[in-house]
Each structure stands twice: as C-alpha cells, then as structure tokens.
Structure 1
Amino acid sequence: MTSTLNIGVLAHVDAGKTSLTERLLFEAGAIHRLGSVDAGDTTTDTGDIERERGITIRTAVAGFRVGRTRVNLIDTPGHTDFVAEVERALAVLDGAVLVVSAVEGVQAHTRVLMRVLRESGLPVLLFVNKTDRAGARPERVTAEIRRRLTDRAMDTVRDAGTPHARTEPGRWRDPAFAGRVAEALAEHDDALLAALVEDRPPPGPGALTAALRHQVGCGLVYPVLCGSAVTGDGVGALSRALTALLPVTTASPDEGGGQEPRGTVFAIERAPSGEKTGYLRLRAGCLAPRAHVEFERADPADGGPHRGRIIGLEVVGAEDERSRPLVAGEIGRIRGLPGLRVGDRMGPPAAVAGFARPALEAVVRPRDGGDATRLHAALTALADQDPLIRLRTVPEEGLSVLLYGEVQKEVIAATLADDFGVRAVFERSRTTHTERPAGTGSAVEEISPRRPVGAWATVGLRVDPAGEGTGVVFRRVVEYGALIGAFDRAIEETVRETLRQGLYGWPVTDCAVTLIRSGFLPPTTPADFRELTPLVLMRALDRAGTRVFEPVHGFELEVPADVLGPVTARLNGLGARVRETVETVEGWRLTGEVAARSVDDFRAELPGLSRGEGVWWTSPARECPVRGPVPRRARTDGNPLDYEEYLVHRANARRRG
C-alpha cells in the first residue's frame, strides 16, 4: 500500500518558488545540500538557460517523504510565456502551493494563477515567502491576500524583515487561534456556524482539523502560511500541512490490477543520445514494468494511437523500488517509446481548466543558411516536449513557430544554440487568427479513372458551423464500416489536418464535417483518400464561407489617479473596450478587453504613461470577428482551392517521398 501526493509549486517570477522547492527537499533529506538559484545548481532547474536566467522554463519533478506519504513536487514555470507548462502540470496535480513574496506581495501573474487554480477546483495552500528579507511586510501581504486572493490567513510572523524572522504558527490549544479557524470555516459548515452563534466553545482540535481538511480539499478555504525558503523558517510547518490538509491517494498493485491503466504524459526529457523519458501520472489501474501500452494523441490531427513496450519504469520518489509496478496516484518515468509526446494519454482525458492556445507566431531562420535541416530537426525535437510549438514551412519565408510571448522566443533561440548548436534568427511576431464556417457547404468527387489524384476513390463531405468551443467534429451519415478501416481513418485524419488552413490560411475551428458519401474500387490505397479529401473539403468549405476571428484578452489595469486620462486615451487608441473603472485607495482600477495584437504594445508603453507605477495583467478571454481587411496567412498545403496548383504540389511531394 502506497500513499502519494502530487503537489504543484506555482508563483510569479522571483517569488522564491524554486528556492522553496529546494528547501522542502533538503528538510526532508531528499538532497544533502541546498542548491541556489543564483549559483545555478538547484535540483529542478537543470538546464543551462534556467540557471543563467534564474527562471523555471520546464516542469520538473522531485520526490520526498513526509511520514509514510510520498510527496512529488512539481516545480512549474512562473513566467507568463510558459503557461502551457503550467496547464499540463495542473492536469496531474492533487493540490498546489502558491508562493507569494513578502516583499513584492501579490503580483499580476499571482492573481492569474490563483484564478486558474480556483477554476480547476484544486486545493491550494498559500506560502508567503521571504519573511527574512529587508522590506518584508507579511502582515500587509496577508491583508492583500485577503483582499485580492482569499480571506483566510492562519499564521503570523515576528521580527519580519530581518534574518531572525520566525513563523509563529497558531496552536489549536490557543482559544483565540481556534476561534479564528472556526470563524473562517463556519461560512461553509452549518454545525460550526451554529456553535458560534450560540456562543458555545469551538470543537476540539480533531474536529477542527477534520473540518479544515475537508474544506481545503473542496477548494473552499485557502490557508496562508509564512516563512523563508532561505532560513527554513516555516518550511517544516508547510511540509506537515501538505499531508495534513491536502488529499492523499492511497493504492496498491492488487487494488489496481482489475482496471485498465489510465494516465497522462505531462513532461518529456531527452537524453544526449536522443532517448526519451516520459513523466506519466497514473490516475487508475496499475502499470507493470515492460508492459505493452497504447497511447492516444492529445490532438487527433497529430496521428492515431501509437503502441510500444516500456523498457524502463522508475517510480518517482521510490528509486529503490524500480522493479515494482506503478499504481494510481504515482508518477513514473517511462522509457522505450520513441514516439512519445507531451499530452499523450492512456484512457480518456481528465477535465482541467486550461489556457488558450498561443496567440503569436514568428518565422525563424538559421543564421547560417546551411543549417536549415538542422534547425528543422531541432525544432521538431522541441515540439515533442511542447506540442503547442507548431511548425509550418512557409513558402519563400522559412519555418514558423507558435509562441506565447517574446521571452519564450528568446528562450527557444538560446536552447537551439546551446543544446543543438544552431543559431537562429526570429522575425517580428505576428498575431494568429482562426476561421469559423459562416454557413453550410457540400462537395462530392466520384470515382473517375481520368482524375490525376484518388482516381478509384469517392469522397463526399458537408461542412456546418458547430458550437463555440467544440473544435473540429467529424461525423458520418454513411454506414460505419462501409469503408475499410484504414480508408476511413485516412479521411478523418486528413480532414483534421486540412482544416489547419482555412480559406484565408488560418486554422478552422467550431466546425462539423460530415462524411456524406464514400466508395472505392481496387487498387485504391489510403493515399488516394489522403490526396482527394483536401480537394473535396476545401470546395465544401468555400461554399460554406468562413469568418476570420482574432484573439481578445481580458485585462485589469491599476494606475495612479493623476494618469487615468492619458492611459484611457491610449487604450481607446488601441481599440480596447474599458468595461469598468473603479476608484481604489491607490488610484484607479480598469477592467476590459483588448485585442491580443495590442497587448505587447501597451505593456511597453505603460511605464512611461504611469511613471512606472501602473500594474497590468491580461489573460486570453475570447475571440471576435476581425473588423476591416481580412488578414491572410501564406498556405503550405499546395492550395487545394486551386486544382492545378494542388496537382503540382502533390506531384512534387510524391517525387520527394
């Protein structure tokens, strides 16, 4: 029987998240010396770029024990350009620790992270770090947490702002402390509320602990602890709180033997030899060493299921038991599957609140023209670790990659240089768009021996608008099984691949495609359906028409009172919509929406507009139709809308193949 707890550590940049992870491992005896972010020798920031920049870029996992419970710490990125890594970590967590600096306080991205954690329903402990630093103000930060994040705070600090700062955790035997806890819990506990109203003594320590654990597990209460990752103060209390307050998974190989394994790959490591190691969170069942496994892609357009045999399985935090099976709740390192990618899963996906896809793309070229092939191979390897780094070969331009922001672009360039020996140059980032069907359209191509592509195949498709957020839905009105399975899969996979470029070159979403006619004669192959389907689909899409949408971010902005005028004028000039303006103690808080293409421009201008005092954060909100000229993106698929151009493209592809 094993007890496992998977914890995410999240924070705004420089809040001390990685240092806290290091201290937790050290205090538990998992490491024998403390690493330093400044020295670049921390356990979880293993890459050269992470050490140089002092930021976490890739999700890292490290395990330790608290009593009989194995705790897996998942140290996630704090910078907004790496929210995709945070999203994948959330899918495998049992709870989270959100770190707040006692010096800087609640920052913009702290609020974004807290919102995502609350929407995901994950239990959260807040840790106010850096209480030993000059300028530390934990009492004020705790009040700020109550005002901007949650109203539950349970610990205090003395000698704040000095190396002698110490956490003074409340004692259950202290009536004042027990009373404060009872008041905090009474909002969601009728029995406690009745006891307080009737002026009865609060329940004993056992009952209060049980009530607190229940409410924390349900995401109703967010306890706040204080301390310092540098001195270690408060870290022991945090460590104990992890297993005392957060939900622990208990399982054994015998219990999981009757269930099919179900889990998600949330991180990939690649050795210098090229061998991949995948981090798999198992949610159900039991996975034996050397088992034969099948994984589904997160995006069906990336291909169908892939199978293989595990040749190496290590249970994170239990390296002394490498030969034993992985059970539900645990994280394992698996080797032997060269096709493994982040997001691959066994069984159905787990629902989790997430982030929108990247809103930027940039063309990247090798500084040395002879490195084009090496650049493509290197970016393909990076895409295995991050499937959201989509690659497109743009005619007469080069490779294009999807991005969240400019820092991510810099990190990719540094990774290409350091890890792959390829120096790359990125062009200015451009906003990505999407297309949605405006109506319904159909097209059919019957078997025709004179046709240059798919001569012995019949394909008929209908395109309809689908509900918002549905993505691409593939349906059939022809009898399922009327086609050979390989032919049917070829049509569906090609439909999804083709819709990555709509009438204007942008990905098509919220679209239902129905197979309304099919047939074949020998010697048809799946390749015939793959060549014919784009022609039929794009003709149907052309008849339906599409509208192009651009990403819109919600924003919150805090500025001093005397700069409200020029700030508002600039937002209006960028086409932003201010929905609410609220006066605060510090000045004004504005909320609204702004086009994603204007976010970086305003972020760069804000310090000058607000004397450096403005606080601005955004998060992807929705998409809206483009006004004015419709932006186009260069096609890379040979343009199935132009029959002659497409035939030349397919002929060239066959010669290259």
Structure 2
Amino acid sequence: MENTSENKKNREVKKSQKHVCLGILAHVDAGKTTLSESFLFLSGKIRQAGRVDHKDAFLDTYELERERGITIFSKQAVFEWKGMEITLLDTPGHVDFSAEMERTLQVLDYAVLVISGSDGVQGHTMTLWKLLKRYNIPTFLFVNKMDQEGTERREIMAELERQFGENCIDFSYLDEMAMENLALCGEEMMESYLESGKIDKKLIQKAVKERNVFPCYFGSALYMDGVDELLNGIADFTESLKYPEEFGAKVYKIGRDSQGNRLTYLKVTGGELKVRDSIGNSEEKINEIRIYSGEKYTAVPAAAAGRVCTVTGLSDTYPGEGIGAEPESDLPVLEPVLTYRIDLPDACDIHKMLENLRSLEEEEPALHIVWEEAVGEIHAQLMGEVQTEVLRHIIRERFGVWVEFVEGNIVYKETIKFPVEGVGHFEPLRHYAEVHLLLEPGERGSGLQFASVCSGDVLDRNWQRLILTHLEEKEHKGVLAGAGITDIKITLLAGRAHQKHTEGGDFRQATYRAVRQGLKKAESILLEPYYEFKMELPAEMVGRAMTDIQKMKGDFVPPLTLGESVILTGSAPVSQMRGYQREFISYTKGKGRLFCEPKGYRACQNQEEVIEGIGYDAEADTENPTGSVFCSHGAGFVVPWYQVEEYAHIGSCYTAKKEESEAQRRTFCPPPVSRIELTQEELDAIYVKTPDPIKRNYTATPVTVRAQEKQEGEGRKKSRKKEKNREEYLLVDGYNIIFAWKDLKELSEISMEAARNKLMDILCNYQAYRKCTLILVFDAYKVEGNKGETIKYHNIHVVYTKEAETADQYIEKTVRRMGRHQDVTVATSDALEQVIILGQGAQRMSAEGLKEEIRLAEKEIREEYLGKNTVERNYLFYALKEDAAEAVEKIRLGGSEESSNVK
C-alpha cells in the first residue's frame, strides 16, 4: 500500500514538472547529432557520448544511418535537466529527407537551430528558418564547431543578425550590451530595463515564446564546450505550454518496429490518452503506449497533454492527421519535384511489390507511389539520389528485393483559370448516383480544398460525407498532361441518390467523373516546380551566373557584394536547373557554392512544348473517364463529357460570369455526336474498379468500351444463371459490432446479455428485409469446457464458439469453406479479419457500413408500409357518382337536402 501511494505521489510530481518538446534542426554536417549526444551525456541519460564518425551515436539506430553518418529518420529521447523534463526530437539534416523533418515540426514546443561556425548560414539553413517561422516555433540558435580555425564570434553574430534579423541576441554572456540589445526587442523589456537596469526572467521567457527574441549560444558539441550554457538557457527561458481538457492529438509519423508492428507517433495536444482508449473515425483501440529513447522504450498506461509518444493498435492513421479536437495539418511546404521509375527483377511479382510499396508510402507519404497501368510501371516521387539509395536498402531489408530507380520526368501539376461546374453521373442497371461540383481556382500553393454547400434536403448528409471522402481519397489527374491537380477548391453543389439502387461505389464513380468533366470544360494551366537558389561566387563571375539564370527563364534580386565574393539569390524552373550544379562548379573552379531548395509551383513557361512531349490523351485514359454512364430501356450507355449536362437529372447549379463563359467556350469544340453503348459485363467491369463495400461480388475483368452486343453466347448465359442462383450469406462478428456501435456499447456496460439480445432483434428485422442466411457469431472461447453451440433465433442463426476458438477463427473457417461457391459478406471492423476474408473470396462490411445498411432498410420498410396503407384506404366519396358527391358535399357544408337535388 505504501508503494502504491509513493508511485501515485511520484506520478503527480512528474505531471506537475516543467516539460518541453524540443527539436534539433540543422543543415547536414553542422553537428546536430553530436549536440544531441552531448545533451544526453551531460544529463546523465547515457554513460558515454557516441560519435557519428565512430558509428555509435545513441540516436542513429538504423544501420544505414551509422554507415553513412547522416540522420535519416527523426528520433526521440527523454532526459531531465535541472528539474525540467525534455523530450528531444532529433531530425534529419539532409535535404533529401526534408519531408520527415517538416512533419516533426508540427509537434515541437521549442527548437534549437544548429549552425556550423566554419560554414555559416547555408541555403538549407535558410529553408529551416522559414519553416520555423511558418510553424511559429520559438527558436534557440547554437553555433557549433567554434573550435575550428577561422571561426570568429563577432563576424558570425553579424551574419546571424543579417540573415535572421536583429532579434538574434548573444546569450552566452548577458552583459550590459546584451541587456540593451534585449531591451530593444519589446516595450515591456524596455520598461523593465529602464526602471531597474535589469530585465525580469518572465519577460524574457515571454519574448522567446512569442518569437520576439532568438537566444544565441556558441561552442563545440564534440568537446561539450558551451553545451551546458545552452541547456541552462533552455531551462531558464522556456515555459510549459498550457493544453485544453478536451482530448486531441497530432500524428506526425508512421513506422514499424522490429516485429513488424505498425507504430503511430503522435503528440497529445489535449486531455489524456490511455491504453484501450478508442480514437479516430474507426474507433480503433490503443493497445500500447510507448515512450521511446533511442531504440528502447518504456510502456506506460497513459500519456498526458504535451507528451510525445508512440502507440500500437491503429491501422488507419497518417502523418498530419488531427485526432479528437486537433485539426488536420496544412499541406507541407517541401515536396519532391522528381519522379522515378522503379525497375524490379524479372522474377518479382509486380503487384505484390506495389502493395509493399504502398505500405512504405504510409511511412513516407511524399513518395506518391503510382501504378501506371498503361505501361505496367511503378513510379515514385523522390527528393534526390541519397533518398533513392536509402529507399533501395529499406526495400531490400524489408521485402528481400533489390530494385533500381530510373530518373524520369519533372513532377508537373495542373490547375484551372476560371470557375466551372463539373457533372458526373453513374447509372448502369441497378446503380444510381449523380454529383454536381464547383471547381474554383485557388491561391498558388493552397493545394486542394473541399467543401459542401448542398442542402441536406437535396442529398442526405451521409452521401455528402461519402462524396467528400471520394474527393480526398485519390490524386485526381488533370486533362493536359495527366498531372495531379492542385490549387483548386472543389465544392459539392448538389447530388442525387436512389432509395434502392444507390451504393457507396456509385458515388465514387460519379464524383470522379464530375471532377474530370469539369476539368475538360475548364481552361487548365500546366504548373512546373521551381527552385529557390543561392549562389556564393567570386565577383568576376557573377555576370556569367546572371546570364545563365536569364537563359533558364529564372529571376534574381540585385546581387549582394561581400568583399571579394558576391551572393546571388533568386528562383528558376527545376527543369532548367537540373544538372547545373556541375557546370557551376566548373566555371567557378570550385570557389563557388550553389544551394537549391524547392520553392513551389508556377505557370509553365513552355506549356505547349511540355504537353506535346508528354503526349497525354485524356479521352484514352480509361482509368479516369471524362464522360458519364446513363441508362435507357434497361441498357447502359456512355455520354461524352460535352453532352453530360443534356442528360443530367439535375439542372445546372452554377452560372459563370460572362468573361468566364467566353473563356470556357474557347477551350473546346465538341466533336461529332456519338452514342457508345456498353454491355452489362462491361458496366460490371467498370463498377469492379470501385470496390463495392457491402453487397455484390463482381469478377474483375478488363474494361473495354465497344458497341452493345446484340447476342450473347450460350456459355455466358449459363454462367450468368449460375451466378444468379448463388446463395447469400452474411456473417456478423457479434462482440465487434456491439463495441463498435455506441448505443450497444453503452448498453453492454449495464448488461452484456441485453446488448446481445438487442443486436439479435435488430438483425432479425434486417434479415427479413435482406432475405439472406444470417449467422451471428459470439466469442465463447474463454468458457472452460465449452463445446460450442448453434441456436436458431427466429429467422437467424446464432453461434457461440467452442473453447479456444475465437469468433475470428470461426468466421475465417466458414469463409474458407463457402467463400468461393456462395456470396459471403462478413460484417466486422477488425482490420486483420477484413484482410483474411478478402483473401478467401468474401466481401467485407464495416460496423458502420452494417449500421447504415440497417438504417436504410428500416427507412425503406417504413416508406413501403405507409405507401401501402395510403393506397388501401377507402372513402365514401370514392364510390359515389360525381353529381351525387357534389350534393353530399353541399349537405356536409350546411345546405339542405332539397336544394341539393340528389337523384
């Protein structure tokens, strides 16, 4: 009992302890990892400081990091200094891994920007500075390698003030001059200094927190010179952040441990996170909470607000995701600008490797793994050669395959010039959906934004949410070069569903087609990536450099002269600057330095030439159709994009301005009208590319569009008849559904038996509507000696599994036995179980999907009942002749029988 009280007391002390999440950033080779090692050694976290060149750094846990001497993945360590707990995040310094670094910025309280005293402020250092400003992170500066010759403190301090502003203050010695400079950074500090000759510590903390002051320290991390002063400064001039009571968390990284467990790295930004908590849209439960320090971790029962931790048990999280009250992150600034083709060995299964690469894409979203079906190739977007080498090693280590990366094209993007309405319709037999979208040009760099102004009276909210999900779930191709679209706001204007025939996949098809139809109508613009460059070169060579930039169609600001050297900054297209590094080194004879960073996208200056070179045909892209599918006399047919509005079931929802309409008319001239009809098999083939989440089991076949066949072979008829006679089975994982539905979960906390009975009654009603064989499975594997039991409850079968057999195992066994010969659907939200059943030929349905199906069924039953009662009512007036009915009506209103002249 005493130990329990002592532990509780220790936890309360820990909770009240000052805590900050501190990130370390730097240009590669500035000594960032060495500084991290010094922090850990001086704090007593490690007994001996490792060294990058000795390949024994505590935070370089990956073999390739130690081999190359660079940080590839962000790492975490927790240590204490003078009563303060610090969660340290060491980030990659090489520009090829900038995306990993930028994601980490989302969870930092403070940052230390490390600068090499011998190299000064470099191009990537300026990029880091801009990112710190964008994410509003208070920053300390540490000038490293001051032990090397040629490092002069005053000159470096002058460069920091020139590059970062005069609010960079030398905190190594807070003498009178430093206090005067500090006082100039804020009115409150000025008043405090004038009154007392000193500045209160709390005022300095506030100034640092608001990024009005950037404390600067000097030293050598290798020899631990000046490192303790930096740590003391962090302890003195930081403050713990205050967090709300409502739960929130920000995901910044996805990874896997040595056992293959999926890890979600996050920061709790409100409330508290506990083991077994259900979070996210899927309400998956946290299995374990880990606090990492290097390779090792400590499992904890809970993580309070402000803590950075790693959790297991979540399968759908992604970097930048906001959970609970935390909003989603903005689009990253740094994106890859080069695309590579991934060449595989001859014996490698390309589709299996595509699946493996998509799992890597979870960890590195910037990869943008793309399957180019037309040429049978896998493409990826990467930052540079170092990243390709690292990725090659990771693929070999994890999947046992050695791949090659072949540099391909520039990553172009597309946007539009004027607003336009896009219409998509998908109505083969037994399916129905129509979607109207407004596509508007956004500011450059804004990415894609999605919204809805559609009334719930026009289209149910659940369908609206589904449409927005389909807009977000894929990269939509433009119509000029097949490049991804960006800088567009897409708003749902209207839509229509059918009570019986609409399913989720229908709206996916209609949404995709609406986007493409709108792009075909719009005036599209091709965008190309730009580099922001900084050149340091001898003054006599600046003329050559400016001429080169002008030839590249770039721009620059007037050069800055520093002694015998000149600094030239500006921007130029990536397509023009590729390979310029070698030429620059050649004509400067090694005396110049060129730094390039991605700057974003601008309008392509040779658009027609690029489009012609790519040779993309939007109408030939069967994976991204521009037209829509309508139904007439029981047959589906394709309507080309320029005629969709004529066939649409909802009128136009947007009126363009006059100048916009004229510009749109100039963008296309409709070709001769043609009507292309599809066979049912071809419509099914289109539909199978949109996986049906609930009901039908379609066989994947190649998609081809041709004239409708007049006759079918006998073999095809027999196949259809056989398919039609397949019996439908629905297997329901009972406890999974109970804990997934809020009302049943709350009821189970009072009485599990009541929750089971309520679910059984709900499914009985649903089975009567669905007319399938419904099997409800409950776990009973923990009941010692239990032999299992199957009972008939009204019109459904209820199974209680035997000892040592889980519901998952029973369902898997049943699916394996029936999945290839019957139409089997399994209702569960268990991710692993879903993967298993899909592999056995069954369909899957989530817990929420089942709930929605039941809701729609109940709604339709009610409407049919009410409609039936309305028809069957019998009124007196219905049996009377017209003149007799008029006479009776007059009597009812107060007239006499004589005056009515009833005959």
Q: CA deviation at 1:534?
A: 2.3
Pick closer, same or farther for the CA change 1:242–1:271 going to 2, 3 Å: same
- Is structure 2 residue 363 aligned with structure 1 residue 377? no
Work out whether residues 275 and 338 of structure 1, in 8 Å CA contact, stay in contact via their aligned partners in 2. no
Match of 1:655 in 2: 699
CA–CA distance in structure 2, aligned partners of residues 462 and 191 of structure 1? 50
- Is structure 2 residue 72 aligned with structure 1 residue 57? yes
Match of 1:297 in 2: none
Work out whether residues 192 and 200 of structure 2, in 8 Å CA contact, stay in contact via their aligned partners in 1. no
Q: CA deviation at 1:102?
A: 2.5
Match of 1:30 in 2: 45
Pick closer, same or farther for the CA change 1:411–1:652 going to 2, 3 Å: same
- Is structure 2 residue 124 aligned with structure 1 residue 109? yes
Pick closer, same or farther for the CA change 1:384–1:104 going to 2, 3 Å: same
Match of 1:408 in 2: 387
AA aligned opposite 1:214: K
Work out whether residues 58 and 85 of structure 1, in 8 Å CA contact, stay in contact via their aligned partners in 2. yes
- Is structure 2 residue 498 aligned with structure 1 residue 520? yes
Match of 1:158 in 2: none
Work out whether residues 321 and 327 of structure 2, in 8 Å CA contact, stay in contact via their aligned partners in 1. no
Q: Which moved more, 1:53-62 or 1:270-279?
A: 270-279
Query: SS of the residue aligned with 2:93?
Result: coil
Structure 2 stretches lacking a partner, 5+ long: 1-15, 628-637, 639-675, 690-697, 701-837, 839-903
Work out whether residues 6 and 93 of structure 1, in 8 Å CA contact, stay in contact via their aligned partners in 2. yes
Match of 1:338 in 2: 315
Match of 2:186 in 1: 189
- Is structure 2 residue 240 aligned with structure 1 residue 278? no
CA–CA distance in structure 2, aligned partners of residues 333 and 383 of structure 1? 19
Pick closer, same or farther for the CA change 1:571–1:74 going to 2, 3 Å: same
Q: CA deviation at 1:270?
A: 0.5
Match of 1:231 in 2: 223
CA–CA distance in structure 1, aligned partners of residues 213 and 318 of structure 2? 36
Pick closer, same or farther for the CA change 1:202–1:650 going to 2, 3 Å: same
Query: SS of the residue aligned with 1:116?
Result: helix
Work out whether residues 452 and 464 of structure 2, in 8 Å CA contact, stay in contact via their aligned partners in 1. no
Q: CA deviation at 1:285?
A: 1.2
Q: CA deviation at 1:572?
A: 1.9
AA aligned opposite 1:225: Y
Match of 1:265 in 2: 251
Query: SS of the residue aligned with 1:220?
Result: coil
CA–CA distance in structure 1, aligned partners of residues 158 and 226 of structure 2? 19
Deviations 1:4-58 (A, max 9, x none): 1111101111111111101111111112222221232222211111111111111
Query: SS of the residue aligned with 1:249?
Result: coil
Query: SS of the residue aligned with 1:623?
Result: strand
Match of 1:202 in 2: 197
Q: CA deviation at 1:468?
A: 4.3
Q: Indicate the structure (1 or 2) with the bigger Cα radius of gyration.
A: 2
- Is structure 2 residue 656 aligned with structure 1 residue 641? no
Query: SS of the residue aligned with 1:34?
Result: coil
Structure 1 stretches lacking a partner, 5+ long: 156-168, 171-176, 295-304
Q: CA deviation at 1:485?
A: 4.9
- Is structure 2 residue 372 aligned with structure 1 residue 394? yes
CA–CA distance in structure 2, aligned partners of residues 354 and 336 of structure 1? 26
Query: SS of the residue aligned with 1:388?
Result: helix
Q: CA deviation at 1:484?
A: 4.8
- Give the TM-score normalised by structure 2: 0.63
Match of 1:161 in 2: none
Question: Which of the residues 154, 158, 164 maps onto 2:170?
Answer: 154
Q: CA deviation at 1:92?
A: 0.6
CA–CA distance in structure 2, aligned partners of residues 579 and 13 of structure 1? 27
CA–CA distance in structure 2, aligned partners of residues 525 and 15 of structure 1? 56
Match of 1:420 in 2: 399
Pick closer, same or farther for the CA change 1:179–1:534 going to 2, 3 Å: same
Q: CA deviation at 1:552?
A: 2.2
Work out whether residues 466 and 512 of structure 1, in 8 Å CA contact, stay in contact via their aligned partners in 2. no
Match of 2:108 in 1: 93
Pick closer, same or farther for the CA change 1:250–1:568 going to 2, 3 Å: closer
Work out whether residues 31 and 116 of structure 2, in 8 Å CA contact, stay in contact via their aligned partners in 1. yes
Work out whether residues 371 and 422 of structure 1, in 8 Å CA contact, stay in contact via their aligned partners in 2. no
Match of 1:219 in 2: 211
Q: Which moved more, 1:273-282 or 1:515-524?
A: 515-524
Pick closer, same or farther for the CA change 1:211–1:353 going to 2, 3 Å: farther
Match of 1:435 in 2: 414
Q: CA deviation at 1:317?
A: 6.8
CA–CA distance in structure 1, aligned partners of residues 169 and 522 of structure 2? 56
CA–CA distance in structure 1, aligned partners of residues 392 and 447 of structure 2? 31
Match of 1:559 in 2: 537
Pick closer, same or farther for the CA change 1:92–1:637 going to 2, 3 Å: farther
- Is structure 2 residue 463 aligned with structure 1 residue 487? yes
Question: Which of the residues 27, 45, 61 maps onto 1:12?
Answer: 27
Of Structure 1 and Structure 2, the greater helix share is in: 2
Pick closer, same or farther for the CA change 1:472–1:193 going to 2, 3 Å: closer
Work out whether residues 436 and 548 of structure 1, in 8 Å CA contact, stay in contact via their aligned partners in 2. yes
CA–CA distance in structure 1, aligned partners of residues 344 and 359 of structure 2? 16
Work out whether residues 125 and 224 of structure 1, in 8 Å CA contact, stay in contact via their aligned partners in 2. yes
Q: Which moved more, 1:309-318 or 1:520-529?
A: 309-318
Which runs of structure 2 are paired with 1:113-128 in the superposition (5 Å)?
113-128=128-143
Q: CA deviation at 1:262?
A: 1.0
CA–CA distance in structure 2, aligned partners of residues 306 and 195 of structure 1? 53
CA–CA distance in structure 2, aligned partners of residues 351 and 268 of structure 1? 15
Pick closer, same or farther for the CA change 1:499–1:278 going to 2, 3 Å: closer
Pick closer, same or farther for the CA change 1:459–1:324 going to 2, 3 Å: closer
Percent sequence identity over aligned pairs: 27
AA aligned opposite 1:343: G
Match of 2:306 in 1: 329
Question: Which of the residues 300, 307, 314 maps onto 2:290?
Answer: 314
Work out whether residues 15 and 129 of structure 1, in 8 Å CA contact, stay in contact via their aligned partners in 2. yes
Q: CA deviation at 1:351?
A: 6.6
Deviations 1:546-584 (A, max 9, x none): 211112233232211111122222222222122322333
Pick closer, same or farther for the CA change 1:538–1:352 going to 2, 3 Å: closer
- Is structure 2 residue 636 aligned with structure 1 residue 620? no
Work out whether residues 638 and 649 of structure 1, in 8 Å CA contact, stay in contact via their aligned partners in 2. no
Pick closer, same or farther for the CA change 1:55–1:648 going to 2, 3 Å: farther
CA–CA distance in structure 1, aligned partners of residues 22 and 330 of structure 2? 15
CA–CA distance in structure 2, aligned partners of residues 263 and 562 of structure 1? 54
Deviations 1:256-306 (A, max 9, x none): 6xx331111112330233211222111111112221111xxxxxxxxxx33
Q: Which moved more, 1:56-65 or 1:503-512?
A: 503-512
RMSD: 3.0
AA aligned opposite 2:603: P
AA aligned opposite 1:559: L
CA–CA distance in structure 1, aligned partners of residues 328 and 513 of structure 2? 36
Which runs of structure 2 are paired with 1:546-625 in the superposition (5 Å)?
546-625=524-603
Which runs of structure 2 are paired with 1:300-311 in the superposition (5 Å)?
305-311=281-287
Pick closer, same or farther for the CA change 1:499–1:131 going to 2, 3 Å: closer
Query: SS of the residue aligned with 1:29?
Result: coil
CA–CA distance in structure 1, aligned partners of residues 356 and 297 of structure 2? 35
Match of 2:232 in 1: 240
Q: CA deviation at 1:208?
A: 4.3
Query: SS of the residue aligned with 1:146?
Result: helix
Deviations 1:299-344 (A, max 9, x none): xxxxxx3331001013457999844421111112211113333222
Match of 2:508 in 1: 530
Work out whether residues 250 and 266 of structure 2, in 8 Å CA contact, stay in contact via their aligned partners in 1. yes
Match of 1:164 in 2: none
